[in-house]
Structure 1
Amino acid sequence: MGTGKHVVYWHETESVTPEPPLRDTTDCDVAIVGGGYTGLWAAYFLKEAEPALDIRVVEAQHSGYGASGRADGFVTPTIGKDIQALVREFGTRRALEASQAVGRSILEIGRFLRRNEIDAGYEANDYLMVATGTAQLRRLRQDRELASRIAGREQPEILTAAQAQDVIGSPAVLGALRTGGALVNPFKLVRGLAKVVKERGVTVYENTPVLRVLPGACPTVVTPGGRVTADKVIIAANAHQFTFAPFRNKMVPIWSYAMVSEPLTQEQLDRVAWAGREGMVEAKTFLTCARFTADNRLMFAGGPALYFMGRDMRRRRMNDQRAYRALRDEFHRFFPMWGDVDFSYAYGGTIDVTRDYAPHFGRLTGTDVFYGYGFNGNGIAATHTGGKVLRDLVLGKDSEYTRLLYVDDEHRKQRSFPPDPLLYVGARATTRLMEWKESRA
């Protein structure tokens, strides 16, 4: 089984002609730093609410180059990483409100794509949270019980090994919990979203890295080729959020990896029961997941969650053979019958991890600078909800979205990570500790 070129598979499914970079000094009502899901959904919902707003989006590469276009394409109701921790931190009621909002976003993304005739391979076929050991079975039971309590009604029963393997025919699966969700081509989604906001009058500058954001009566976004002065600024830079001083120690970029195969032959497909094309996610913090693409390639993703000293996000980190060895081993564990499957793409990307494994939205004290980040690798639906949060924060509205647990207030603060080298040592130790805890029977 081979491991292929270090190129993001999704990026080759649609061609890109970047928008011109910023080459002047300009002003506007709202400037948005970051042309990924969070920034573009904020622009979309702001324009929907106030069509006359002059909105400018500033993107370092092109929309979809970063995390939004490298995601594995699971549209899930997940907020952060751990529903148990979410309830402990915020209580049952607030966890339910946030979960319901993100659940609505799954459906609304599908409607958005249909309404705007965007072919992003949206498949509303759920996903299976699977257990491969007794500790994971215990986590499934705990998550089901908690979800039932939050929702006020019984959730679907946990599938036995035989039932789960009838859905996804992996001999490693000992049980599973079916969860509502969808699959999508994440790059086509973000490119389609960018097209829609531009058609609605939003200006998008691409190949325009932001050097800094200057607060003040009218905050200013400074780039190599020009400046944008705005009444309000939103910083939605995902894994690059730490490059702005107020967020330096509030999140860390963690690498996640994926492999994508050649299209499977019918004979190969017939070896594994998987007629419903559901996504598969392993029930652990540093998860393994798998899915089919629209052309029947197999994506297998996850592996070790790696942090590199100094928040290293250089492209050469995509070629980390430790990650691909771990992924290949996991693939053989789940699907030994696919020993002849060749992977033509092997790549990585960074996710924005926060101390509490939950999103953070708000307004920097004493400024008109707003922010939204911290999806911890589960952002496709949650960023859609986040766009509504930012809309109402920017417009000064007290709404159901500004009262979600996303939003920082006097009771919820952004907790800091230590600086390197303590961060590096702590990240590695935490990874090993969580792997040990989740492997216990």
Structure 2
Amino acid sequence: MGETVTAPARRSRIFWQDGSAEAAGPPLTESVDCDVCIIGGGFTGLWTAYFLRQTDPSLRICVLDSGLAGGAASGTADGFVTPTIGKDLEQIVRGHGRQAAAAACDAVGRSILEIGRFTRRHRVAADYQAKNYLMVATTAVQASRLRRNRDLTASLGARFETTLLDAAQARQRIGSPAIQAAIVTGGATVDPFALARGLLATIRGQGVRVYEQTPARHVDRTADGYRVTTPQARVDAHRVVLATSAFQHRLPGFRRQVLPVWSYAMVSEPLSTEQLDRLVWPRREGLVEAKSFLVCGRLTADNRLLWGGGMARYHLGRDMGAGRVDDRRVFTDLRRSFDRYFPMWHDVRFSHTYGGCVDITRDLVPHFGTAAPGLLYGYGYCGNGIAASHLGGKVLCDLVLGRDTELTRLFFVDGREPAFPPEPLTFLGVRAASRLIEFQERLR
């Protein structure tokens, strides 16, 4: 049996940021005017600024972030760049039709390729690796789900081909005894924090003003647009973009549109050559388990194993307190699932354990749109945001500029956005649904 996760050397330190020399820049201390003010310095806000600058270099753009730009959800992601919109492709097809689902899948698939081109063009050292990943099944029910997903994806004319593997074929790719089947699909892996900071450096070099340690206290309508009030100054802007991810629920009008749900990960010490030789993993693809509360794993550039996912945690009142970063029950469950997949690595130690919040919507798809004239928003990636936020930046660029394009006609733009019920109904409902799903998964 594997060891329990006790007293890791860097407990609650985010792996991607541990040892980084990146520090938050100075806050805004003097009031400024601009054409577009973007609130939120994660992937959505940074990509929006990038595409606006590419489209209209004359625009005066400023970005505000309450802490370290790229340091929240964007900089704690597991680094999978996947062709995923929301959580459930079958649900999207049922709700919006095949044509709408196909258009969304194609658009996010393009973003995977374009992120790679961006890192090469701007020499961003984010360890972008264009490679397939495996969606794996450990039960017959999961294998059936894989086949349905493969058939549906193929019928939509997906940009990335999917290949179904039986147990023997799958274990030639990743030699885990737990894997019973898999589909291989296109994607990439990346160091998410390095990508975010590289994107930040790029837009700063292009003249975008970014103010870190600058929370937006109020956004008020004015005769010429909006006034964003910060602790020490204000920003007057013609248009404002709200791009605060899991913090979106703190903004007026979005309280019940999004939930901050905790997701967790562990990262091992560097694996020795002897440990690596115990397992067949020739192409170093990432793996994602095909179940509701998935687990995922991937190797890093320095031969560590990242293992994340498990039971999603939502706390009453949308609690995002720092004390939730470390949840020993979650890490015990993650270690248990790791041992099930990789019993040959019983001696692997995990040096980093941490959590962060992802933005979950009620219909499990992202949403972009116009809250009021000149006030735009984007949120709700449901844990699949690296490629989707790149697409979101392009969507928001078009919305800011008032352009009618194929991107602004995607089904999740200015569409219906179902709300969660008020508390404590949301907390009770999420807890009941989570326990039911967990029970059903254990029976399969």
Large movers: runs of 4+ above 3 Å? 152-157, 436-441
SS of the residue corresponding to residue 364 of structure 1 reads: strand
C-alpha displacement at 1:285, in angstroms? 2.2
Query: Following the alignment from structure 1 to structure 2, what is the Cα–Cα distance between the partners of residues 48 and 375?
Result: 24
Give 1:374's aligned residue: 380
Asked if 1:257 is matched to 2:264, the reply is yes
Aligned to 1:385, which of 386, 391, 397? 391
Q: 2: distance between equivalents of 1:40 and 1:154?
A: 26
Shift of 1:155: 5.0
Match of 2:215 in 1: 209
Pair 1:419-2:426 in alignment: no
Identify the residue that residue 25 of structure 2 maps to in structure 1.
Answer: 19
Task: Identify the range of structure 1 (310-319 vs 29-38) with the bigger mean alpha-carbon deviation.
Answer: 310-319
Q: How does 1:24-423 map to 2 (within 5 A)?
A: 24-151=30-157, 156-217=162-223, 218-365=225-372, 367-408=373-414, 412-423=415-426
Give the stretch that moved more between structures: 321-330 or 412-421: 412-421
AA at the equivalent of 1:244: L
Counterpart Cα distance in 1 of 2:329 and 2:285: 28
Pick closer, same or farther for the CA change 1:30–1:177 going to 2, 3 Å: same
Gapped regions of structure 2 (runs ≥ 5): none
RMSD: 1.4
SS in 2 for 1:245: coil
Distance 2:14 2:159 in 1: 41
Inter-CA distance 17–313: structure 2 relative to 1 (3 Å threshold): same
Give the AA of the match of 2:342.
F
- Unpaired runs of 5+ residues, structure 1, are none
AA aligned opposite 1:356: D
Instruction: Return the alpha-carbon distance in structure 2 between the equivalents of residues 309 and 321 of structure 1.
Output: 19
The answer to whether the 8 A contact 2:15-2:267 is kept is yes
Do the aligned residues in 2 keep the contact of 1:135 with 1:438 (CA within 8 Å)?
no
* 1:201-233: CA deviation from partner (whole Å, max 9, x where unpaired): 000000111112113431121111111110000
Letter in 1 for 2:437: M
Given that 1:82 and 1:285 are in contact with CA atoms closer than 8 Å, whether structure 2 keeps it comes out as no
Supply the AA of the counterpart residue of 1:386. G
Structure 1 residues 276, 134: closer, same or farther in 2, change over 3 A? same
CA contact 1:126–1:278 (8 Å) conserved in 2: yes
Report the Cα offset of residue 18 of structure 1: 2.0
Distance 2:291 2:220 in 1: 41
Contact 1:43–1:197 (8 Å) recurs in 2: yes
> Which segment drifts farther, 315-324 or 48-57?
315-324
Q: 1:396 & 1:324 partners in 2: Cα distance?
A: 46
Whole-angstrom distance in 2 between the partners of 1:311 and 1:17: 28
CA distance 1:21–1:152, change in 2 (3 Å): closer
Conserved 8 A contact 1:238-1:352? yes
State the shift of 1:13 in Å. 5.2
Question: For residue 275 of structure 1, what is the amino acid of its counterpart?
Answer: P
- The structure-2 alpha-carbon separation of the partners of 1:153 and 1:342, relative to structure 1 and needing over 3 Å to count, comes to closer
Partner AA of 1:203 in structure 2: R
* % same residue: 52
Q: Which amino acid aligns with 1:434?
A: I
What is the CA-CA distance between 1:436 and the residue it aligns to?
3.5
Of 433, 436, 439, the residue aligned with 2:436 is: 433
With the length of structure 2 as denominator, give the TM-score of the two structures: 0.96
Report the Cα offset of residue 406 of structure 1.
2.5
The code of the aligned residue for 1:73 comes to G
Whichever residue aligns with residue 96 of structure 1, its letter is A
Q: 2:74–2:193: 8 Å Cα contact kept in structure 1? A: yes
Q: Can you list the C-alpha shifts for 1:177-221, whole angstroms capped at 9, x where unaligned?
A: 001000000000000000000000000000111112113431121
Quote the Cα distance in structure 2 between the aligned partners of 1:357 and 1:252: 11
Q: Which amino acid aligns with 1:375?
A: Y
* In 1, Cα distance between equivalents of 2:318 and 2:158: 42
Kindly state the Cα deviation for residue 251 of structure 1 after the two structures are TM-superposed. 0.4
Shift of 1:433: 2.3
SS in 2 for 1:246: coil
**In 2, distance between residues paired with 1:152 and 1:336?**
35
Q: Deviations over 1:341-376 (max 9, x none)?
A: 0000000000000001001000013x3110000000
In 1: Cα distance, 2:195 partner to 2:160 partner: 33
1:29 touches 1:55 (CA, 8 Å); kept in 2? yes
SS for the counterpart of 2:164 is coil
Q: Distance in 2 between matches of 1:186 and 1:13?
A: 15
